Structure 1
Amino acid sequence: MTEALKNDRFLRALRREPTDTTPLWVMRQAGRYLPEYRATRGRAGSFMALAQNPELACEVTLQPLERFELDAAILFSDILTIPDAMGLGLSFAQGEGPQFAHPVRTRADIERLGVPDMEGELRYVMDAVRLIRRELHGRVPLIGFSGSPWTLACYMVEGHGSRDFAHLKAMTWNEPALAHQLLDTLARSVAAYLIAQAHAGAQALMVFDTWGGLLGPAAFQEFSLRYMAQVVEALKSDAASRELPVILFSKGAGQHLARMADTGCAALGVDWTIDLADARQAVAGRVALQGNLDPAVLLAGPEVIRREVRRVLDSYGNHPGHVFNLGHGITPEVNPEHVKVLVDEVHSYGRQLRG
């Protein structure tokens, strides 16, 4: 695991150090928009079979790096591995997204939950991290990740995807102590999961708070941010994870960037609903920023993509501490050639900005 990195732009940017150009990676860069991914998933037979096979997870993690000059790889997995390891029976119905056979709705359900064994039920994730690090040969850094405690709880209580996750939101109002008990168990689980990924070879860690934006300002701080801060604090207590930069990404929560920076994370992901200049002002240089092109721009033509890339880069300006990314995950309808236009323009215009 000591092989020197050939490209450390991404990690330098997270440390707010100068880079020769703006580094980038793309959320869901290994996914259904790539024909080679679809072929590998077809061989696996299902999404879960693919995610739980370290060799195939490694294969799809590396696929986008063969096409594009990306500055980081991200572990191919799913945010719901932790609740699946807790015995909730995760499955993916065609066209319907994730479902749990055993949602948690009662005090007894929640009291039965415990932190999973990271080298037991979740060993397949750690084996994938170890294998990907070996196969990267120091080409770019590897990002490990988890869903946030709030986002995991949304799916676990609802039992499936939702627009509003009303069951968990009702719990926060009617039984707040029970919601806190669930979120504390999940925060300890997420921290253990990310620490295990750090020991397995991850070089940066990211927390996806996909549904934090559903909460009002006070509820966001109480039920989402509080537990992300608990995770960051736990990561700083371990010798392996304390050395790694942590990125927090809370979709739809741009108004909370200043408070999120207070957690001690290295960087904040930013969705496309806030201008990067405003985000920079909000965090006052305390953390790096990652983002924030609207994923739908990749459905437009090459000239539009180049124009919008330049707009995002101009918004951040010629300052250290920016990792270019989409404001959310790439969608399956995107033409891979449009991603190449994106990658090439970010690197080309990023060099121009640096003079």
Structure 2
Amino acid sequence: MSSTPLQNRLFLDALEGKKTERPPVWMMRQAGRYLPEYMELRKKYTFFERVKTPELACEITLQPIDIVGTDAAILFSDILVILECLSTEVELKPGFGPYIPDPIRTAEQAMNVKVRPATDELKYVYDAISTTRKALNGRVPIIGFAGGPWTNFCYLVEGQGSKTFSTAKSFLFSETKAAQHVLKVLTEQTIEYLHQQVAAGAQALQVFESWAAALGPDDFKKYALPCLLDIANEDYGVPLIMFCKDAEWSYPLFKESNVNGFGIGWGCTPEQARFHADGKTVQGNFDPSKLLSTPEQIEKEVIEMLDRFGPQNHIANLGHGILPNVPVENAKAFVNTIKNYRY
């Protein structure tokens, strides 16, 4: 792990509640599909070749730092890699997305899930983090991440993406004991995985509970929240961001945890975000589709967003991942507007 001092601490300072002259900025899914340089690598290597080759993952992680100029790097990887710790094969089908050939569909499958330690199974992730941190040479911090247990459970049972995750939900409600066993295993694996990422050099962490809103509030509190609190109550030694997409109402429930910041989707207003975060740092929440407008319009709307969030304890970001058809100049307009902003 590199011990080079950080030249740009804005992102970490904002997460730690320190005063900054402007909000730091990065973009979810910033390493990847909208960058021509990434598309060239995509022609040569499959998705999982890119993810599992530390040198390639490093190159892709660095691209937005070099090209767009964000204040933090996030490792090029995928939330579903942790399913390998459950002896589960994951495929990525072009034009279709994640696909699990053998999903869990019975209580017997769930109770007999085979667990392999994240320490060993995901070594390529840790190698990619170490390689990238060394290559960054202190320019910006690197963020490690994991999917939330409920979100990974959804894919594990559904077998693919879904608008409703009705198969996963019906399994949760009908085979509750078996489902909770899998959620517990995923929680334990995620905690180990995040600790290992920090040991490899990650300087901050984010948990993506992307399908939080697939559950109603009562069921979220009953099934998903205990897993997230177990994760959030760990001391990783670095700041932790919790992103429960479209369930920002849940953030007061993390008040006593070790969470430093909360990810905000575009469905939540800056005012609501500040209320739910109760003084902790908020991150978001520009609608990625707005990056398809003109640079002039982007600048106007970004300034409005920053003004509404108000000074301090804000990390400028998108409300979810950047879209693949966003022009690079528009991504730069988003980032540069924030970098030119002053409190």
Give the TM-score, by structure 1 length: 0.94
Instruction: Give ranges in structure 1 of 5+ residues lacking alignment.
Output: none
Question: Which residue does 1:309 correspond to in 2?
Answer: 302
Does the 8 Å CA contact 2:246/2:268 hold for their aligned counterparts?
no
C-alpha distance in structure 2 between counterparts of 1:27 and 1:343, whole Å: 12
Question: Which residue does 2:290 correspond to in 1?
Answer: 297
* 1:266 maps onto 2:278 in alignment: no
Query: CA offset at residue 101 of structure 1?
Result: 1.6
Partner of 2:121: helix, strand, or coil?
Answer: coil
Does the 8 Å CA contact 1:116/1:122 hold for their aligned counterparts?
no
Does the 8 Å CA contact 2:87/2:115 hold for their aligned counterparts?
no
C-alpha distance in structure 2 between counterparts of 1:32 and 1:283, whole Å: 31
CA distances 1:191-242 after superposition (whole Å, capped 9, x unpaired): 0100000100000010001100111111111122211111122x32xxxx2x
**Which residue identity lines up with residue 44 of structure 2 in the other structure?**
R
Give the TM-score, by structure 2 length: 0.97
**Which residue identity lines up with residue 326 of structure 2 in the other structure?**
V
C-alpha distance in structure 1 between counterparts of 2:294 and 2:256, whole Å: 39
* 1:12 maps onto 2:13 in alignment: yes
Question: Which residue does 1:88 correspond to in 2?
Answer: 88
Q: 2:248 aligns with which of 244, 254, 259?
A: 254
Does the 8 Å CA contact 2:73/2:141 hold for their aligned counterparts?
yes
CA distances 1:43-76 after superposition (whole Å, capped 9, x unpaired): 22x1111111111000000001111221100010
The CA RMSD measured in Å over matched residues stands at 1.2
Does the 8 Å CA contact 1:225/1:260 hold for their aligned counterparts?
no
**Which residue identity lines up with residue 15 of structure 2 in the other structure?**
L
Query: CA offset at residue 114 of structure 1?
Result: 4.5
C-alpha distance in structure 2 between counterparts of 1:173 and 1:290, whole Å: 32
Question: Which residue does 1:35 correspond to in 2?
Answer: 36
Query: CA offset at residue 87 of structure 1?
Result: 2.1
Question: Which residue does 1:232 correspond to in 2?
Answer: 232
How many corresponding residue pairs?
342
Question: Which residue does 1:103 correspond to in 2?
Answer: 103
C-alpha distance in structure 1 between counterparts of 2:85 and 2:276, whole Å: 38
C-alpha distance in structure 2 between counterparts of 1:339 and 1:182, whole Å: 39
- Counterpart mapping for 1:60-139 below 5 A: 60-139=60-139
**Percent of aligned pairs sharing the same letter:** 40
**Which residue identity lines up with residue 30 of structure 2 in the other structure?**
Q
Partner of 1:168: helix, strand, or coil?
Answer: helix
C-alpha distance in structure 2 between counterparts of 1:195 and 1:277, whole Å: 33
Partner of 1:80: helix, strand, or coil?
Answer: helix
Query: CA offset at residue 168 of structure 1?
Result: 1.6
**Which residue identity lines up with residue 281 of structure 2 in the other structure?**
A
Q: 1:140 to 1:115 in 2, by over 3 A?
A: farther
Instruction: Give ranges in structure 2 of 5+ residues lacking alignment.
Output: none
